[in-house]
């Protein structure tokens, strides 16, 4: 399973695009796009990821992080995936900060953990 690949497949299908059309638009082959969607190949280069971002109207930095999250070392892979998810929404960011650092958004923005009574 690949979160990036799953997202690319969902975005492609939502736009009623074929593998062939996406491959042509990013300058690749349909077998490669299929491999990305199914997690069978390594994450695409930043250059290709930027093309996906442009094609699907997505944030390129977030897509690059998402593409490589699946290849992070196993010891930190799940945390890295959660981190990438946290970048995409305020509630997820709050939960991530609390879970891993024990701080709220307000505390994090002030650069220190507030003392509790």
Residue-wise pLDDT for 2-46, tens only, equals 788 999 999 999 999 999 999 999 999 999 999 999 989 988 999
Whether the per-residue pLDDT at 116 is higher than 80: the answer is no
- Provide the whole-model pTM: 0.70
What mean pLDDT is reported for the chain?
83
Region 46-53 average pLDDT: 96
Q: Are residues 47 and 92 in the same domain?
A: no
2 with 28, same domain? yes
- Do 52 and 77 belong together in one domain? no
- Residue 104 maps to a domain: yes
47 and 99 belong to one structural domain: no
pLDDT score of 46: 93
Q: How many domains does the chain have?
A: 2
Tokens coding 19: 């593998």
Please report the pLDDT score of residue 71 as a whole number: 78
- Above 50 in pLDDT, residue 114? no
Looking up residue 51, the CATH number of its domain turns out to be 1.10.260.40
The Cα-based distances of 20 to 14, 34, 54, 57, 86 in angstroms read 15, 10, 17, 19, 32
Nearest-angstrom CA–CA distance, 95 and 82: 10
Same structural domain for residues 37 and 84? no
My answer on whether 40 and 84 are in the same domain is no
**Cα 117 to Cα 109: distance, rounded to the nearest angstrom:** 21
Confidence of residue 99 (pLDDT cuts 50, 70, 90): confident
What is the mean pLDDT of the segment spanning 72-80?
Answer: 83
Domain that holds residue 2: 1-58
């Amino acid at each position: 399973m690949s979160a990036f690949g799953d997202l690319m497949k969902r975005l492609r299908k939502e736009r009623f695009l074929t593998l062939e059309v996406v491959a042509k638009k990013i300058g690749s082959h349909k077998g490669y796009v299929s491999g990305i969607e199914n997690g069978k190949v390594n994450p695409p280069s930043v250059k290709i990821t930027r093309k996906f971002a442009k094609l699907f109207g997505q944030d390129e930095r977030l897509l690059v992080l998402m593409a490589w999250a699946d290849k992070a070392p196993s010891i930190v892979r799940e945390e890295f995936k959660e981190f990438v998810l946290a970048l995409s929404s305020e509630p997820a960011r709050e939960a991530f900060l609390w879970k891993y650092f024990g701080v709220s958004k307000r505390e994090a923005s002030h650069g220190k953990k507030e003392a509790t009574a």
